[in-house]
Structure 1
């Protein structure tokens, strides 16, 4: 995943932020077979999280609806060549909340992972500990205007097929940009909170017009510190929401509707915790 950089943000800082959040980010793929040839299709994005001793992938409810119900679930987690899968039977699809209108929400879900995880997953990715993140937020919740915000996910419009190579009959590349910017608070609805994250489009932006595939991706608040040498660096990285709906493009911008901290920590975290106890 690459970072999308605001014009007044240094490339080195943007790269550091992108690497931080990408470590916790993952994509979902579903395999299919046509004319005896295996293929894979992007189904959404998610964030690797941990609640107590249980590990899961936080995502959107409508992403769960698109995942396979049997066989294998593909996990997109590395910039290197390789197909990583996990048996669906070993997973629990936790459907937390889904509203009647896609744009309004709520739209929350999670994939509960097995106790024993594939070594490829634990070696290449990290899990955001929601209990520790909540302690950090509860002790002094940063203002929305503090630092920078980064939305991390994959975009299906960037998926590309390649000719056979490296011993594979077919190669497919999944890709995504992680735009960096600011958020706006949106009105809450019942017990759910919402944020709006604007992203740029057009000739000067690498973001595709349709960012389908980003749904379920994590929205992170990056707190910054200026060092003695005047270099600005990230000092804290807080999972603060997840994306679930892209609005129309107006004047070169679209707004991505996201759940906020209350939805993630009061609702999703508790739902994962209760699922563990069942």
Structure 2
């Protein structure tokens, strides 16, 4: 079987390989190129490694700084435009659970409006550290991103996830969270920690730039909640799967998920106290019963 590990799999990957070759042929480091185009070295690295969707304007600026020529510049810009019309699988780009959190944080820091739909677990931006630890620990044996013997992997990932939550304090940004009631019912961690997570949701729901809406379990849904997803400024969608994240800025994809979010939102209620109270009481009763023995 031929070795295809170095063959670009799509426009973003092909673009990254081409830019890297041109840069190296010019004898430039990523840091030097970054200075020439007034971008960070990290951004140049993300573009070359297809970790971020390339902005066509940025690519044209980079290509001209590299003196790539008109034909090559047009081709590179075309690749950048094509990359926005397809789903990008980040599976090969996420080496660790912590790196996943850091990459998502970079996206979140670049947007003004975030919409998040969850069908199974509490959104990462709303998780307590113990809830996050339980979620991330459960992923490790399935995704095998980490060495099971690596004792610092989960704490590092939890720390990175909690760090993402700093963005919630920026009142210039708005956050809309919609979740099914099953999110509250799914026992991701011990009852006392689930109770703490529910209290955290109530606390955050009072923040003026955050709205949290819940779809009651008895609701007749017009659209099945197939999976969770995030919308960034209604320009980018990230679909959350068990072992990867899929990102798209394709207009058709974004429109579809905007409609999906609005549909789920129409089924949800902002009057969440009664639902939170119900599940909080259940977890507290369970916690008391456990300590009684």
Shorter-chain TM-score bucket reads under 0.3
The structure whose Rg is larger is 2
Q: By percentage of residues, which structure has more helix?
A: 2
Q: By percentage of residues, which structure has more strand?
A: 1
